[in-house]
Structure 1
Amino acid sequence: MTTILDPLHLPLHGSRLIEASAGTGKTWTIAALYLRMILGHGSEAERFPRPLLPEDILVMTFTRAATQELKERIRDRLQTAARYFRGTEHPARPDPFLEALLADHPDPVVRARAAHQLALAADAMDDSAIFTIDAWCQRTLREHAFATGSDFRETLLLDETDLRDDAVRDFWRQEVYPLSEPALGEVLQLFSSPDKIRQETEALCKLDPPLPVPESTLADWLPDALAAPRRQLATLKAQWAAEHDAFAEWLSGLVNGPKADNPLNGNTLSAAIVSRALAALRDWADHSDPLIPDEPDKCQRLSASKLPEYCKNKPPLVLHPAAETLDTLFRELETIAQQFTRLHGEIRTHAAAWINARLSRLKAQSGQVSFADYQRRLARVLRDKTQGPALAARLRQKYPAALIDEFQDTSTLQYQIFDDIYHAADNNPDTLLLLIGDPKQSIYAFRGADIGSYLQARRLTEGRHYALGTNYRSSHALVSALNAIYTAAEHDDPQGAFAYAAPGADNPLPYQPVQAHGHQKVWRIHGKAAPALTFWGAGEKLNKGDYLERCAAQAAECIVGLLDNPEAGFAQEGEITRRLEAKDIAILVRDRHEAASIRQALHHRQLRSVFLSEQDSVYASEEARELLLWLEAVAEPEDARRLRVALALPLLGQPLSALDAFHQNETAWEAQLEQFQDLSRQWRRQGVLAMLHHSIHQFGIAARLLTQPEGERRLTNLLHLGELLQQASATIDGPEALVRHLRQAIAAGSDQSDAHILRLESDAGLLRVVTIHAAKGLQYPLVFLPFIATCKAARANPFTVIHSAEGQPAIHWESGDTTAAERARLQEDLRLLYVALTRAEHALWLGLAAPKTAGTPIFAGSAIAHLLGSERTARDLATLLEDCARLSPEIVVETLPDSIPTTLFVRPRNNAHNPPAEYTASFEKHWGVASFSHLVRELPADPAAPPTPRRAQAGAPWHRYPQGMNAGTFLHDQLQRLAQNGFAQIGQDHFVEQLHKTCTQAGLGDWVGETAEWLQAIVHSPLAPLTAALCDLSDTLSEMAFWFPSDALRSDDLDRLCQQHIFPGADRPRLPQRVIHGMMRGFMDLVFEQGGRYYVLDYKSNVLGSEDADYHAKALRDATLGHRYELQSSLYQLALHRLLRQRMGSRYRPETHLGGTLFFFLRGLQGPERGVLHLPADLALLDALDGLFGWPQRATQP
């Protein structure tokens, strides 16, 4: 018997269960009861034995956000009540509860004392005992450390993924490795790798209480356990092998004889089918491992019980004796299969128990403990016959009253803790245990929520059940419609509305109708009250894809119509006071696949939406994986492989032509390399978030993403990750460590921290697409459930936890019969449906369709089908909906159209906003950073340039070596490393070892020998006009950077000076027109001093031919001019000139100290010029360039 709760007179002692249906004011009720406990209010039979303080009243819920909300709501209620009792509170609307409470304190002195009591309690709320269950367990263990054996030095472990992985690998090494056949083969069928072990044992590892620690190893018991079923299997195989040939000969005579004499049906048991079945049986008998023959259905057609079904209408077939044997064989195989199923379950159980035990040892060794460990430890101490009763008594003394919020989400272990302290069945008058929740909303089984615990508590508190009877969330019309549907299901279905009732037994989860408080505002369209509940029913049977597409289109089209309709809105006293807005609408889905379907339909109609899934971590997003690849490239921009991967990321959306250009065009590649080098420096100086913002701007990522349907979501994820990484960088040193941190976070997939949950991509009042799990506890004016008929079959877990009506759990190892698991799945889906249907304040829309085929996962077997009575009545969808519409005038049924138009939403113009203020300040719009690569970008092709020669198949390695940017960049990187560490190391072993590694990473693993030979030749080749080689140089500087300012410099002026001073009159492509305003920068491959003169050397890997003779002086000059390297030389010489002038002062003599530029064409080192083109310093050119770049402004060098 359930009583409607009266918050003013509920007895505040003993153990009581309060069912708080959706929208019935649960938090308000908790605050009201809290207030009464503070005052000690009520008659002798109702009040708690004494007034309580906030620190005496334990209130527990499941999230930090919920605890904070409860604390603030209770504080506010206490403060309001205090003002009421003082007479200083004069609300616009009377508060019946406080008025009644005030009336129970008529004496002014008592009333003043009560006001003081309430005010003190409000001030003490910071010290109140309102906790999450995890936090309370942790606090209790620390406060009672000696009694519970807790270690003060323990640290909290928020994510035990890494330690669990270690435990799994230890199991693999210590338990699986020592096994021999056939035990090893049996285990490997279940666990092919450590990753598979983790997947297969995950659910078992989460069981509470945990599985007992194994007393023996797999090697100790598994071989013996396998022996009996394997012997039976071997016997069956031998029996069949003895009869197979004769049986095959008999069947062959039937199918291969005259067609008229063949009694077998040629369609269902053709010669081909018979042949395949016989081959499968022979193969099964000849090999010891297979348990069941391949194609068992075809094999069973040959058995005595099945063969007559596949015969023609002729005299009865005289069967071969082996057909009877085949019947026996499959019956025996089914029995053996059940033995193996149980045995596999025992192996999984052993693995889970071993891994849990190992994980506990690893945590103990590292001094770490998780929230789950706190719960287990407290539960274990409370169950201890020596320490448990004393600890429970101390906790009852400290917290004489306990309110457990969201009790339907309690796990078995958590309920055990509460019951061991307060003993719900004893109904102790000296304490209070209030269990507050709604079993109809228990939807978090995947987190350990155990509805069986609720049902057990319900049984133990029989006679003390209360319900909140008024819905404050939804309109009268909507409450009436839902009451009608659920009441019909509750009365007409033997299982009840939630499939928990059993014949002749009390229904542990009944539906009780609620009253509606209603709203002042009414949902209206065209001046009339709009329907509260609308069903869209498809007139034809659909497959799942068509169902999703049609219902998504219908929902989107309906939403466009409502938002475009000026007469759709919320009315008060008959007049619309507020027009419908997008933010008033929520579309609830089961998963991200359904979300993608509806968001695509909305996008096609120009409707913007946001998506939120309660479970998703931003680290599990695609953007996290792309950002990892981006950061790897920025951290090491010289790694060509990583850089190419970054440039090809979907975030950038580079066309294939651009990616090919980066590979083929050295200038384009160098431009990208410079950009990433800049980003790398910015990361190290300003932080990862600044670098990420710069990347988004520089590469146009935001502009590109925002044109895509999911672009806003992706951009939000990217920025969210940037913020998280910036926070992490406060305790992580360096880019490489931060990249490693992100890689580990992605591998973990999710995190306990609320900061890592996906954020809403916008708060701009958009349509909200929300998973049903995420929507629990929330409410929306209008709710669409377009895909409510989808369902999933029961998961094929190796075991299922099933609860009886009394709440008793049991593990069922599956062996083909999924009846119990399917019932549990339906019960969970019915609760999920209830949550979805009770989110709306005014109206609901549901999309339904009958399945096209028996296997289509829509409607049949779904929660909505059960609620409408599909299985009970066997009626078609149209009839069910007609019957449903007759239940209430607030229910409307519409036919889902076959063809749905696409109406574009026209966003109404908002003229209320003031026009933006005009920005009149002046700022530098065209300032930027330029480089040689920037100047020659989009350089016209040289018409005189010969086609790229084919790579030589023989000869020197530099002619055989791969062509393209990959090889060129790789060689440049190796020479840079040699320059930084000394060219003399070229012959040392450690360099060769490192070269082998870097070649492999660059995709040049087959070219290690040629690379080493070529580098040796490069380092020892004399540099004309010098007599020295690279290995002879002692005073060198690699990758020297330079920066100097430029003021509106035109590329035409640079072009003119180069043509006048370097190879005057020689043909070369004109520079593209550019204006350089800001800074000019660059990096010189090598600067060195030799004989008192300073040179710049630049490596070139250009291919000018396939023989040494192709690298003659004119070829080198033509290549230099064709790529405008002479401009590059001029810029390098100017930078070196300015640096020497600044450093040497009056001692500087450019004609003496400047040696010029050496372009080292690496593939021509055996050519006539030894691959070197020398461009001497031209003082007249340098003076002119000084003028162009505004000397005497001081050059800078970072």
Structure 2
Amino acid sequence: MTTILDPLHLPLHGSRLIEASAGTGKTWTIAALYLRMILGHGSEGEHFPRPLLPEDILVMTFTRAATQELKERIRDRLQTAARYFRGTEHPAQPDPFLEALLADHPDPEVRARAAHQLTLAADAMDDSAIFTIDAWCQRTLREHAFATGSDFRETLLLDETDLRDDAVRDFWRQEIYPLGEPALDEVLQLFSGPDKIRQETAALCKLDPPLPAPASRLADWLPDALAAPRRRLATLKAQWAAEHDAFAEWLSGLVNGPKADNPLNGNTLSAAIVSRALAALRDWADRSDPLIPDELDKCQRLSASKLPEYCKNKPPPVLHPAAETLDTLFRELETIAQQFTRLHGEIRTHAAAWINARLSRLKAQSGQVSFADYQRRLARVLHDKTQGPALAARLRQKYPAALIDEFQDTSALQYQIFDDIYHAADNNPDTLLLLIGDPKQSIYAFRGADIDSYLQARRLTEGRHYALGTNYRSSHALVSALNAIYTAAEHDDPQGAFAYAAPGADNPLPYQPVQAHGHQKVWRIHGKAAPALTFWGAGEKLNKGDYLERCAAQAAECIVGLLDNPEAGFAQEGEITRRLEAKDIAILVRDRHEAASIRQALHHRQLRSVFLSEQDSVYASEEARELLLWLEAVAEPEDARRLRVALALPLLGQPLSALDAFHQNETAWEAQLEQFQDLSRQWRRQGVLAMLHHSIHQFGIAARLLTQPEGERRLTNLLHLGELLQQASATIDGPEALVRHLHQAIAAGSDQSDAHILRLESDAGLLRVVTIHAAKGLQYPLVFLPFIATCKAARANPFTVIHSAEGQPAIHWESGDTTAAERARLQEDLRLLYVALTRAEHALWLGLAAPKTAGTPIFAGSAIAHLLGSERTARDLATLLEDCARLSPEIVVETLPDSIPTTLFVRPRNNAHNPPPEYTASFEKHWGVASFSHLVRELPADPAAPPTPRRAQAGAPWHRYPQGMNAGTFLHDQLQRLAQNGFAQIGQDQFVEQLHKACTQAGLGDWVGETAEWLQAIVHSPLAPLTAALCDLSDTLSEMAFWFPSDALRSDDLDRLCQQHIFPGADRPRLPQRVIHGMMRGFMDLVFEQGGRYYVLDYKSNVLGSEDADYHAKALRDATLGHRYELQSSLYQLALHRLLRQRMGSRYRPETHLGGTLFFFLRGLQGPERGVLHLPADLALLDALDGLFGWPQRATQP
């Protein structure tokens, strides 16, 4: 029997259960009861034995936000009550509860003392015992460290994903590596790698209490466990192999003989089917690995028990004895299959237990502990017969009163903790245990919420059940409509509204109607009260895709109509005081796929929306996978394959023509390579978040994404991931390690901490698309449930957990009970439906359709079908909705149209808005960073270097070597590495090993020998006009960067200077017209000193011909001018000139110290010029360039 709760007279002692249905003022009730406990209020049999302080009253809930809200609400209530008792509070609307409380304290002196008590309690709320369950367990263990064996030095581990991954990899190495065949083959059928282990053991690793550590290694028991079923399987294969040929001959003769003599059905046992079945049996017998033959169904048709079923209207043939053997064979195989199923389960159990044990050791070694560990440890101590009673007594003394909020979300372990302290069944008059929740809203089973714990507590508190009877959230009309539907289901369905009732037993989860407090404002359309509950029923049966599309379109069209209607809004005293706005509307869905359907329909009508899901991890998003590919390219920009993948990512939205240009045009490719090299340097210097923000700006990602329906969502995910990676980089060294971290986080995408949950992409007043799980605890004026008829078939749990008398779990692997699983699925869906239906303040819209075929996952078997009585009455959808409409005048049924228009929403102008402020700050709009690649981009193709036939020359690997950007970039990277470590290392074994690895990664694995030979020749080739080779140089600097400012410099001026000073009169393509305003930067391949002079060397892998003779002086000059390398040389010389002038000061003489630029054409190293073109420093040119780039001094003046 459940009593409607009177907060003024609820007995505040013993154990009591309060059911707080949706919107019934649970937080207000908690604050009211808290206030009474502070005052010690109540008549004989109602009050607590003594007044309490905030530190005496333990209040537990499930989120930090909820604890903060409770603290503030209770503090505010205490302060208001104190003013009431002093007589200084005179509200416009009297507070009946406080008025009654005041009336119970008529004596002025008593009131004054009560006011003082309340004020002290309000001031002490910062020290109140209001905690999340996790935080309270942690606090309790630390306060009772000696009794619980806790270590003061332990640190809190908020996310154990990384450590669990380490434990999984340790299992892979320590348990699976040592296995021999056939045990290894069997394990690899289950676990292809560490990721698969994590996936297959996830459910087992979450068991509470955890599985005990395995007593032996996998290699110690698995081979023996496999031996018996494998021997039996081998025997069966041998037996069948001995009989197969004779059976095949008999059966083939039957099906291929005269039709009159063949009794078999030609459709189900044709010659082709028989042939395939026999071949499958033969193959199965000949091979050792398959357990079950292929074409199993067809093979079974050949057995003695099945063959007669496939005969035509003729008597079955006299069967071959081997047909009987097949019957025995298939029975034996079924038994063996069950043995292997159990064995596979034992392997999974062993893996989960080993991983948990290893994880515990890793945490112990690092002095870390998770919130789950705190709960398990406290539960273990409290349950211990020796230590538990003493600790429980101390906790009851410290917290004589406990209020457990959201009790329906309690796990079995958490309930065990509460019960071991307060013993709900004892109803102790010296303590108070209030269990407050709503089992109809228990929807977090995936987080460990255990509704069976709630139902157990309900049984233990029999006779002490209370309910909050008034709904303060929803309108009279909506409460009336929902009461009518649920009451009909509760009375008419033998299982009750929530499918928990059983014949002859008390319903543990009944529906109790609630009263409506109502709203002052009324939802109205066209001057009339609008329907509270609207069903859209499809007139025809639909498949799931059509159902989603039609209902999404109907909901979006309805929303457009409501927002466009000036007479749709909230009225008071008959007049609309506020028009409907987009922020008043929520569309509730089950998952992101449903969210995508409705958001697409909204987008087509120019309606903006935001999406919020409580369950989805940002690491499970598409953006996480794209960001991983992007970071791989930025971490190693010289890897051409990764760079191409990054440039083709949907985030960038590059057209195919641009991607093709990167492949065909070397200059365009080098420009992209330069960008990624810059990003790589920025990552290493400033961090991953700075690099990501720069990428988003540089490639226009934000502007492009925000034009798409899901653009805000995608951009939010991208920025969220950047922040998480920036946080992770504090403890992870280097880009490569951070890339691995992201890869692992994506692999474990379902493992989430609060920081990983998808964020709301906008807080603007937009339509909200919200998952039902995320909507729990929230309310919205209008709610649409367009896809409420969808459902998913239940999957039976493959194992059963049996707990020993000591509480230790044991796993039994068996075929799951699909019926029980389906019932549990329906019960949870019914609770989810209740949460969805009770979010609205004024009105609901629901979309329904009957399934087109029996297997379509809509309506049949859904929660809404159960609630409307579909299975109970076997009526069609139209009849069900007609019956439903008769239950209440507040329920309206409309037909879902076959064709739904697309009406565009036009946002109304609001002239009352202030004009946007003008941005008056001054900044350089055209400021940017330029480089040589930027200057020569879109340069006309070089006509001097047409494709040449590849004629292999003996002893000339540089002429046979692959052409193109990849090969050139690869050679450049190897020479850069040699320069950084010393060119003399060219012959060392370590370099050769590194070169082999680099060639393989670059797709040049077949060219290792040629690469090594070519690099040897490059390093030892004399550099004209010097007599020294690269290996002779001692003072070198690789990849020297330079930056200098430019103020509105025109490329035409640079072009003119180069044409005047370097090879004057020679033909060359004109530079594209550009204005360089900002910074000029570049990176010089090699700067070196020789004989007191400083040189710049730049490697060129251009193909000028297929023979050494093709690399003559004119060819080198033409190639240089054709690609405008002389401009590159001028910029490099200016940078070197400025550096030497700054470093050497008055000692600097450019005519003495500047050696010029050497362009080393690597494929011409045995040509007439040894592949080197030398451009001496031109001091007049440097003077002019100094002026152009804003340096007033002359080059000829030190």
Distance 1:201 1:925, change over 3 A: closer
CA distance in 2, matches of 1:578, 1:669: 58
Query: Aligned-pair distance for 1:931?
Result: 1.9
Question: What SS class does the counterpart of residue 1009 from structure 1 fall into?
Answer: helix
Query: Aligned-pair distance for 1:1164?
Result: 0.9
Query: Aligned-pair distance for 1:741?
Result: 5.0
Q: In 2, are the aligned partners of 1:486 and 1:511 still within 8 Å (CA)?
A: yes
Q: In 2, are the aligned partners of 1:802 and 1:821 still within 8 Å (CA)?
A: no
Q: Map Cα deviations across residues 1086-1134 of structure 1 (whole Å, 9 max, x no partner).
A: 2233333332221111111111111112211111111111112222223
Query: Aligned-pair distance for 1:296?
Result: 3.2
Distance 1:1095 1:952, change over 3 A: same
Q: In 2, are the aligned partners of 1:508 and 1:805 still within 8 Å (CA)?
A: no
Q: In 2, are the aligned partners of 1:848 and 1:859 still within 8 Å (CA)?
A: yes
Distance 1:1030 1:243, change over 3 A: closer
CA distance in 2, matches of 1:12, 1:474: 30
CA distance in 2, matches of 1:1194, 1:735: 43
Distance 1:902 1:1196, change over 3 A: farther
Q: In 1, are the aligned partners of 2:1150 and 2:1196 still within 8 Å (CA)?
A: no
Distance 1:197 1:1140, change over 3 A: closer
Query: Aligned-pair distance for 1:705?
Result: 1.0
Distance 1:1197 1:580, change over 3 A: farther
Q: In 2, are the aligned partners of 1:803 and 1:809 still within 8 Å (CA)?
A: yes
My pick for the range that moved more, 239-248 or 715-724, is 239-248
Distance 1:334 1:863, change over 3 A: farther
Distance 1:1039 1:437, change over 3 A: same
CA distance in 2, matches of 1:920, 1:309: 89
Query: Aligned-pair distance for 1:878?
Result: 2.0
Distance 1:732 1:155, change over 3 A: same
Q: In 2, are the aligned partners of 1:535 and 1:845 still within 8 Å (CA)?
A: yes
Distance 1:402 1:657, change over 3 A: same
My pick for the range that moved more, 76-85 or 1134-1143, is 1134-1143
My pick for the range that moved more, 431-440 or 1155-1164, is 1155-1164
CA distance in 2, matches of 1:161, 1:319: 60
Q: Map Cα deviations across residues 206-228 of structure 1 (whole Å, 9 max, x no partner).
A: 22223344445556655666666
My pick for the range that moved more, 1049-1058 or 353-362, is 353-362
My pick for the range that moved more, 41-50 or 1036-1045, is 1036-1045
CA distance in 1, matches of 2:287, 2:1000: 43
Q: In 2, are the aligned partners of 1:942 and 1:1068 still within 8 Å (CA)?
A: no
Q: Map Cα deviations across residues 486-514 of structure 1 (whole Å, 9 max, x no partner).
A: 11221122111111111111111111111
Query: Aligned-pair distance for 1:444?
Result: 1.2
Q: In 1, are the aligned partners of 2:602 and 2:608 still within 8 Å (CA)?
A: yes
Query: Aligned-pair distance for 1:742?
Result: 4.3
Question: What SS class does the counterpart of residue 267 from structure 1 fall into?
Answer: coil
My pick for the range that moved more, 254-263 or 545-554, is 254-263
My pick for the range that moved more, 319-328 or 1068-1077, is 319-328
Distance 1:887 1:258, change over 3 A: farther
CA distance in 2, matches of 1:1096, 1:553: 66
Distance 1:1005 1:251, change over 3 A: closer
Q: Which residue of structure 2 aligns with residue 582 of structure 1? A: 582
Q: In 1, are the aligned partners of 2:209 and 2:809 still within 8 Å (CA)?
A: no
Q: Map Cα deviations across residues 776-823 of structure 1 (whole Å, 9 max, x no partner).
A: 111111112222222112125422579999999997744265111111
Identical pairs, percent:
98
CA distance in 1, matches of 2:90, 2:568: 36
Distance 1:111 1:1194, change over 3 A: farther
Q: Map Cα deviations across residues 26-58 of structure 1 (whole Å, 9 max, x no partner).
A: 111111111111111111111111111111111
Q: Map Cα deviations across residues 466-505 of structure 1 (whole Å, 9 max, x no partner).
A: 1111111111121122112211221122111111111111
Distance 1:143 1:1150, change over 3 A: closer
Q: In 2, are the aligned partners of 1:570 and 1:577 still within 8 Å (CA)?
A: yes
Query: Aligned-pair distance for 1:290?
Result: 4.6
Q: In 1, are the aligned partners of 2:1183 and 2:1194 still within 8 Å (CA)?
A: no
Distance 1:26 1:795, change over 3 A: same
Q: Which residue of structure 2 aligns with residue 18 of structure 1? A: 18
Distance 1:376 1:305, change over 3 A: same
Q: In 1, are the aligned partners of 2:210 and 2:809 still within 8 Å (CA)?
A: no
CA distance in 1, matches of 2:1185, 2:731: 47
CA distance in 2, matches of 1:197, 1:923: 55
Question: What SS class does the counterpart of residue 105 from structure 2 fall into?
Answer: coil
Distance 1:496 1:964, change over 3 A: same
My pick for the range that moved more, 1117-1126 or 1076-1085, is 1076-1085
Query: Aligned-pair distance for 1:574?
Result: 1.7
Q: In 2, are the aligned partners of 1:850 and 1:860 still within 8 Å (CA)?
A: yes
Query: Aligned-pair distance for 1:321?
Result: 6.3
Q: Map Cα deviations across residues 814-842 of structure 1 (whole Å, 9 max, x no partner).
A: 42651111111111111111111111111
Q: In 2, are the aligned partners of 1:1042 and 1:1196 still within 8 Å (CA)?
A: no
Query: Aligned-pair distance for 1:283?
Result: 4.5
Question: What SS class does the counterpart of residue 534 from structure 1 fall into?
Answer: strand
1:147-546 to 2 correspondence within 5 Å?
A: 147-172=147-172, 175-176=175-176, 186-218=186-218, 248-284=248-284, 290-303=290-303, 306-314=306-314, 330=330, 333-334=333-334, 337-546=337-546
Query: Aligned-pair distance for 1:183?
Result: 5.5
Distance 1:45 1:669, change over 3 A: same
My pick for the range that moved more, 622-631 or 600-609, is 622-631
Question: What SS class does the counterpart of residue 886 from structure 1 fall into?
Answer: helix
Q: Map Cα deviations across residues 673-710 of structure 1 (whole Å, 9 max, x no partner).
A: 43334444544555443333222222111111111222
Q: Map Cα deviations across residues 573-600 of structure 1 (whole Å, 9 max, x no partner).
A: 2222111111111111111122122222
Query: Aligned-pair distance for 1:635?
Result: 4.7
Normalised by the length of structure 2, the TM-score is 0.94
Q: In 2, are the aligned partners of 1:452 and 1:803 still within 8 Å (CA)?
A: no
Query: Aligned-pair distance for 1:346?
Result: 4.0
My pick for the range that moved more, 38-47 or 91-100, is 91-100
Give unpaired runs (5+ residues) of structure 1.
none
Q: Map Cα deviations across residues 505-540 of structure 1 (whole Å, 9 max, x no partner).
A: 111111111111111112222222222222222222
CA distance in 1, matches of 2:1043, 2:285: 80
Query: Aligned-pair distance for 1:424?
Result: 0.6
Distance 1:365 1:689, change over 3 A: closer
Q: Which residue of structure 2 aligns with residue 1035 of structure 1? A: 1035
Q: In 2, are the aligned partners of 1:954 and 1:960 still within 8 Å (CA)?
A: no
My pick for the range that moved more, 5-14 or 201-210, is 201-210
Q: Which residue of structure 1 aligns with residue 758 of structure 2? A: 758
My pick for the range that moved more, 1072-1081 or 429-438, is 1072-1081
CA distance in 2, matches of 1:273, 1:279: 10
Distance 1:71 1:1146, change over 3 A: closer
My pick for the range that moved more, 1102-1111 or 887-896, is 887-896
Q: In 2, are the aligned partners of 1:454 and 1:807 still within 8 Å (CA)?
A: no
Distance 1:1161 1:138, change over 3 A: same
Distance 1:1177 1:810, change over 3 A: closer
CA distance in 1, matches of 2:202, 2:1196: 60
Q: Which residue of structure 2 aligns with residue 1047 of structure 1? A: 1047
My pick for the range that moved more, 374-383 or 363-372, is 363-372
My pick for the range that moved more, 687-696 or 863-872, is 687-696
CA distance in 1, matches of 2:972, 2:448: 57
Distance 1:328 1:969, change over 3 A: closer
Distance 1:1195 1:822, change over 3 A: farther
CA distance in 2, matches of 1:231, 1:918: 84
Number of residue equivalences: 1198
Distance 1:1194 1:1175, change over 3 A: closer
Distance 1:309 1:525, change over 3 A: farther
Distance 1:648 1:254, change over 3 A: same
CA distance in 2, matches of 1:442, 1:877: 28
Query: Aligned-pair distance for 1:743?
Result: 4.7
Query: Aligned-pair distance for 1:760?
Result: 0.7
Distance 1:688 1:343, change over 3 A: closer
Q: Map Cα deviations across residues 1000-1020 of structure 1 (whole Å, 9 max, x no partner).
A: 232222222212211111111
My pick for the range that moved more, 885-894 or 1041-1050, is 1041-1050
Q: In 2, are the aligned partners of 1:663 and 1:966 still within 8 Å (CA)?
A: no
CA distance in 2, matches of 1:249, 1:351: 48
Q: In 1, are the aligned partners of 2:1048 and 2:1077 still within 8 Å (CA)?
A: yes
CA distance in 2, matches of 1:226, 1:1038: 61
